[in-house]
Amino acid sequence: MSQKSTHFTHAISRSPSKSIVDGLRAVDVGAPDYDTFMGHHADYVAALRSTGAEVTVLPALDEFPDSVFVEDAALCLQELAIVMRPGAPSRLGEAAAMKPTLESLYSNVAQITGPGFIEGGDILVSEREILVGLSDRTTQLGVDELAEIVAPFGYSVRVVQTPPGVLHFKTDCSLLDGNTILSTPLLDASGCFDGYDVIHTAEGEGACANSIRYNDLVLMPAGFPKTRKRVEEAGFNVKEIGNTEAAKVDGGLSCMSLRFSPS
């Protein structure tokens, strides 16, 4: 089986801005500590680079508090990159700011122009399909435009439903290999992963469902020992990364990078 959904040559990340304290959040549990966030982000980038990948770290954008979460701004496939159209109005400028970087790495860059909306956090790319979860940030019209863009390259798009109260589809799941998904029991119960092997997060540890398979590492937020044990027992090499500050503004590990191998 191909490994193009888990093994990559490149990544793009962006340094947190000091304005991150004003980032969007569903529940206010306090502002993130900037210095701690910077330390976590440095560890994150170092882990990506440890796999031999070329990681571009873009400068902070103070005018966009959520801009550290670059995954929402674009979808990067082998054949092309697609600039998203975020559903939060304050984030539309982040997608525009990402476009020049994508154009420096890809010969083919498309763009979601609307009227629909779609964010990368709602998109899970496996070896067989692109799953897109409808949410408060991603609409059917946005998914339809994405499907039209990727169809000529042989990609199949399947729409699924993000659970009520969950910000993004990938808040509750992540791809561990071509046929294995880490998921909360809540999301898996919807049947959206029928045909895949699924590892459930342990009770009380649903926040670690948003992990990353990047080359030979699974990056997992620190502090979820029962789920880490399950993933390691399934044969995966886990590296823990602090995520307490990103979590205060609804951010997970996948949110902080675009991962790809441009052809």
Compute the average pLDDT of residues 197-225: 98
8 Å CB contact between 226 and 20: no
Contacts of 38 (CB under 8 A, 6+ apart): 15, 16
Compute the average pLDDT of residues 194-211: 97
> What phi and psi values does residue 2 have, to the nearest 5 degrees?
-60, 155
Nearest-angstrom CA–CA distance, 116 and 137: 10
Give Rg (Cα) of the chain: 17
Q: Which pLDDT value is given to residue 90?
A: 85
Q: Is 105 helix (H, G, I), strand (E, B) or coil?
A: helix
- Is residue 76 annotated as a catalytic residue, yes or no? no
* b/e sequence 172-189, b meaning 16+ C-beta within 10 Å: bbbbbbbebbbbbebbbe
Contacts of 131 (CB under 8 A, 6+ apart): 123, 124, 125, 157, 158, 160, 169, 192
DSSP 88: S
Q: Mean pLDDT score of the chain, rounded to an integer?
A: 95
Among candidate residues 168, 173, 192, 200, the one labeled active-site is 168
Using CA of residue 50, residue 54, residue 59, residue 63, what is the dihedral sign?
negative
Q: Which pLDDT value is given to residue 262?
A: 92
8 Å CB contact between 178 and 2: yes
Query: What confidence tens digit (pLDDT) does each residue in 10-58 have?
Result: 999 999 999 998 876 766 778 899 999 999 999 999 999 999 999 999 9
Among candidate residues 76, 173, 192, 255, the one labeled active-site is 255
Q: What is the pTM of this model?
A: 0.95
Find out whether the peptide bond into 164 is cis, omega within 30 degrees of 0: no
- Is residue 192 annotated as a catalytic residue, yes or no? no
DSSP 89: G
Per cent of the chain over pLDDT 90 is: 89
Please report, for residues 15, 42, 60, 67, 254, the alpha-carbon distance to residue 38 in angstroms, rounded to integers and kept in the order given.
8, 6, 11, 14, 16
> Residue 1: pLDDT above 60?
no
By CB atoms closer than 10 A (0-12, 13-18, 19+), residue 89 is exposed
Q: Is 121 helix (H, G, I), strand (E, B) or coil?
A: helix
For residue 218, how far is the Cα from the chain centroid? 13
Query: What confidence tens digit (pLDDT) does each residue in 101-141 have?
Result: 999 999 999 999 999 999 999 999 999 999 999 999 999 99
Confidence of residue 167 (pLDDT cuts 50, 70, 90): confident
